[in-house]
């Protein structure tokens, strides 16, 4: 086996081989250790892959499954855009998996622990598969793999709160509608072109202006819009994130919607391209206004939540608005901003949901009252929350600032100056909802007795260390943008070249 | 003897259903069929058994533990074939590497046979697990559990 040649398939095959084995391990610590090992191996493979892609002269690596040459065979095609998302998903997993142990011990029945980690690994496999593949139908298959395991993972929150069941069922129905729309869209494109390979689809769609392709485009945008919780199709998201087990919230909030945003970018830019007649109007009349509306409406709703997880979930919907805004500018700067924000938002939401998981472990609740006086009882968790909250607002020296800076530059460069002001205005709403929690944590007296009386103990080290690595990443990538900014820009330029827009 | 006709009919049908499942399984390389359909048909034989003799009897014959193991082994059969071809120097699921000297791509036949076997095993055990869980469920959810 030639390691370098097989590298593109390793991020998929490693967790896929290791996931079923977790079911046979004795319950308790073993499945966790095994899953953590799997996530680290996968992360290592993704790091090597990014280095390989970054150095390759063609700008992408192609891997032919079963030695069948594309466009007939399934191709894994890794360029900088998906190498960055792969790195993100596996990186988040390699932090959330070790973090999960204590949280899962509390929230999940021990008899289900091996099933839980197995499902988590399968979910990761699906998300990585969606990202890596260069075949449109393969995207759907992996999307279903990740979604089905996500439904099960969210439903496992039912041990603490039965509402997890309805949240999961709701997500199942909405997610399935989204996936169905998506596969109908792919079916229409297949009918029009006779191919499923993304690069080949792009070539064959050039100059094809039939109704079938138009309908396929609409189905794909709406289907993916549901999956990525584009406002106003976000209604499944708040409940799903709120009632899922804490570790699951941290993982899916940081990865699942980001991968869907990536798929949307891939389809819009790499498959349809600017030659396609609907692109301009889709950007101007759908993605741009919905992105802006999401930024404001979801942020406003977040301010009035009395549950911290639900607040963060609404904030996620708002942040997805920024990503849609970036990609709807249809410029290299806008696309760069969108990709950078995909990466950065995952870091901040990951850290925030991890902090909430620590609070749930000690206080047993994620309502705002449980956060009262937390600064005195759990200083490390509190500061992790505050720092990543600042990052969410977009304070300089954090990743949030970098995202917004790129986005503002893109907005002004694209001539959408009003969007620039709206970005700043919606950041002020973020200040409101984060500030509200910080005020409760720092200034409020801790509850001495009753439901929310927290023992004066911080979270265990097994949770604090991964969480603080995530917080450190929030600051590191906020100072050093070489990795994110530079790779995102090169990825955006490559995407733009394929799409045929002005560079 | 209670429900004599049912019992005898089930006994009569059981073996042919399994045989048909195996036929669909091995015929899948050349025509319609394959591991997924075969797995479902295979599970149907046991579901019929449970309908007639009761879930407890079926669980004695095929315990849930065994199904979990079968599921895992089935999936590992699938991905294991892929990893084996990688170790033999081809890409993932590059079956030609199984029998590289063959003039008529015999490796492709072996490869898909192994993969379909894994799929069949995995689907059959998953189908039965789903059936066990649905039928073994408490009829009503306790009001206080909500």
Confidence of residue B144 (pLDDT cuts 50, 70, 90): low
| CB atoms B91 and A6 under 8 Å | yes
Q: Say which residues have a Cβ less than 8 Å from residue A196's Cβ, sequence separation at least 6.
A: A71, A135, A136, A137, A138, A186, A190
DSSP state of A398: S
What's the confidence (pLDDT) of residue A503? 44
DSSP state of A444: S
**pLDDT surpasses 70 at B145:** no
User: What is the per-residue pLDDT across B87-125, written as a single tens digit (0 to 9) for each?
Assistant: 988 888 888 888 888 888 888 888 989 999 999 999 999
Give me the phi and psi of B62, to 5 degrees please: -125, 95
Task: Please confirm whether the linkage preceding A494 is cis (ω < 30° from 0).
Answer: no
Percent helix, strand, coil in chain B (nearest 5)?
75, 0, 25
Give me the phi and psi of A367, to 5 degrees please: -85, 160
What's the confidence (pLDDT) of residue A309? 95
From CA A417, how far away is CA A363, in angstroms rounded? Answer: 45
Residues in chain B with CB shorter than 8 Å from the CB of A162 are 145-146
Looking at CA atoms only, how far is residue B7 from chain A in angstroms? 35
| CB atoms B68 and A23 under 8 Å | yes
| CB atoms A21 and B68 under 8 Å | no
Looking at CA atoms only, how far is residue A2 from chain B in angstroms? 7
What's the confidence (pLDDT) of residue B143? 53
What's the confidence (pLDDT) of residue A241? 95
Q: Find the CB nearest A65 among B75, B93, B96.
A: B93
From CA A442, how far away is CA A464, in angstroms rounded? Answer: 19
| CB atoms A17 and B80 under 8 Å | yes
What's the confidence (pLDDT) of residue A502? 52
Confidence of residue B139 (pLDDT cuts 50, 70, 90): low
Residues in chain B with CB shorter than 8 Å from the CB of A13 are 79, 82-83, 86, 92
Residues in chain B with CB shorter than 8 Å from the CB of A73 are none
Rounded alpha-carbon distances, angstroms, from residue A1 to A15, A31, A399, B14, B110: 19, 28, 40, 45, 20
From CA A147, how far away is CA A299, in angstroms rounded? Answer: 26
Token pair for A459: 């979270």
Mean pLDDT, consecutive 10-residue stretches, chain A (503 aa), reads 86 94 90 96 95 89 90 92 95 96 90 92 96 95 96 92 93 96 96 93 87 94 94 92 95 94 94 83 90 94 94 95 92 94 95 95 88 88 94 93 94 90 93 94 81 76 94 93 89 89 53
Residue of A9, A19, A20 to mutate, interface with B, max B Cβ within 10 Å: A20
Closest-CA residue of B relative to A7 is B91
B64 contacts B129 by C-beta, under 8 angstroms: yes
What's the confidence (pLDDT) of residue B43? 96
Rounded to the nearest 5 degrees, what angle is found at the Cα of A409, between the Cα atoms of A345 and A469?
25
Token pair for A24: 């046979």
Looking at CA atoms only, how far is residue B108 from chain A in angstroms? 10
A394 contacts A430 by C-beta, under 8 angstroms: yes
Residues in chain A with CB shorter than 8 Å from the CB of B70 are none
| CB atoms A1 and B86 under 8 Å | yes
Q: Find the CB nearest B91 among A20, A65, A162.
A: A65
| CB atoms B69 and A9 under 8 Å | no
Confidence of residue B142 (pLDDT cuts 50, 70, 90): low
B34 contacts B25 by C-beta, under 8 angstroms: yes
Looking at CA atoms only, how far is residue B10 from chain A in angstroms? 33
Percent helix, strand, coil in chain A (nearest 5)?
80, 5, 20
Residues in chain A with CB shorter than 8 Å from the CB of B87 are 1
User: What is the per-residue pLDDT across B25-60, written as a single tens digit (0 to 9) for each?
Assistant: 998 877 788 899 999 999 999 999 998 988 989 999
Closest CA to A319 of A240, A261, A249: A261
| CB atoms A13 and B83 under 8 Å | yes
For the whole model, what pTM was predicted? 0.94
Task: Please confirm whether the linkage preceding A211 is cis (ω < 30° from 0).
Answer: no
From CA A310, how far away is CA A299, in angstroms rounded? Answer: 12
Token pair for A52: 């390989």
């Amino acid at each position: 086996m030639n390691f370098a040649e097989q590298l593109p398939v390793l991020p998929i095959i490693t967790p896929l081989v290791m996931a079923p084995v977790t079911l046979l391990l004795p319950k308790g610590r073993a499945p966790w250790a095994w899953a953590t090992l799997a996530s680290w191996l996968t992360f290592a493979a993704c790091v090597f892959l990014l280095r390989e892609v970054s150095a390759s002269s063609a700008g992408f690596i192609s891997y032919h499954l079963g030695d069948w040459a594309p466009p007939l065979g399934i191709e894994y095609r890794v360029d900088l855009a998906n190498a960055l998302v792969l790195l993100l998903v596996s990186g988040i997993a390699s932090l959330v998996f070790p973090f999960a142990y204590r949280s899962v011990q509390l929230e999940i029945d021990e008899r289900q622990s091996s099933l839980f980690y197995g499902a988590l690994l399968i979910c990761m496999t699906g998300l990585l598969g969606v990202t890596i593949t260069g075949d449109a139908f393969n995207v759907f298959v992996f999307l279903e793999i990740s979604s089905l395991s996500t439904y099960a993972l969210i439903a496992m929150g039912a041990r603490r709160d039965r509402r997890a069941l309805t949240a999961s069922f709701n997500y199942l129905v909405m997610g399935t509608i989204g996936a169905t729309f998506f596969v109908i869209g792919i079916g229409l494109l297949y009918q029009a072109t006779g191919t499923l390979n993304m690069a080949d689809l792009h070539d064959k769609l050039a100059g094809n202006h039939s109704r079938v392709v138009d309908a396929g485009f609409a189905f794909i945008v709406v289907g993916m819009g549901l999956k990525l919780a584009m406002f106003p199709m976000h209604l499944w998201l708040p409940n799903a994130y709120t009632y899922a087990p804490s570790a699951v919230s941290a993982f899916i909030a940081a990865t699942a919607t980001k991968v869907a945003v990536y798929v949307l970018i891939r389809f819009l830019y790499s498959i349809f391209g600017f030659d396609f007649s609907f692109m301009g109007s889709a950007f101007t009349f759908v993605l741009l206004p919905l992105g802006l509306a999401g930024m404001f409406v979801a942020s406003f709703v977040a301010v009035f939540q009395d549950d911290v997880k639900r607040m963060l979930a609404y904030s996620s919907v708002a942040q997805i608005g920024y990503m849609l805004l970036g990609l709807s500018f249809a410029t290299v700067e806008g696309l760069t901003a969108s990709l950078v924000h995909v990466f950065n938002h995952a870091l901040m939401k990951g850290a925030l949901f991890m902090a909430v998981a620590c609070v749930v472990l000690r206080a047993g609740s994620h309502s705002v009252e449980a956060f009262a006086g937390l600064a005195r009882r759990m200083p490390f968790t509190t500061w992790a929350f505050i720092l990543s909250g600042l990052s969410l607002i977009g304070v300089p020296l954090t990743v949030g600032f970098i995202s917004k800076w790129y986005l503002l530059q893109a907005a002004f460069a694209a001539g959408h100056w009003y969007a620039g002001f709206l970005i700043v205005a919606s950041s002020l709403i973020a200040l409101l909802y984060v500030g509200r929690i910080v005020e409760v944590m720092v200034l409020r007296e801790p509850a001495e007795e009753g439901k929310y009386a927290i023992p004066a103990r911080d979270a265990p080290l097994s949770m604090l260390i991964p969480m603080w690595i995530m917080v450190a990443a929030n600051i590191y990538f906020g100072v050093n943008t070489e990795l994110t900014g530079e790779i995102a820009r090169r990825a955006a330029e490559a995407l733009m070249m394929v799409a045929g827009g002005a560079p | 003897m209670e429900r004599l006709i049912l019992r005898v009919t089930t006994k009569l049908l059981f073996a042919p259903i399994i045989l048909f499942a195996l036929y669909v399984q091995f015929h899948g390389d050349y025509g319609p069929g394959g591991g997924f359909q075969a797995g479902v048909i295979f599970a149907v034989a046991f579901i019929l058994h449970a309908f007639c003799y009761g879930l407890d009897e079926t669980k004695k014959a095929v315990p849930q533990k065994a199904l979990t193991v079968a599921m895992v082994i089935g999936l590992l059969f699938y991905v294991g074939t892929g990893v084996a071809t990688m170790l033999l120097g081809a890409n993932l699921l590059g079956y030609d590497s199984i029998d590289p000297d063959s003039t008529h791509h015999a490796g492709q036949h072996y490869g898909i046979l192994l993969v379909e076997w894994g799929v069949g095993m995995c689907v059959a055990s998953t189908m039965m697990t789903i059936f066990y869980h649905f039928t073994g469920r408490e009829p009503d959810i306790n009001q206080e559990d909500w």
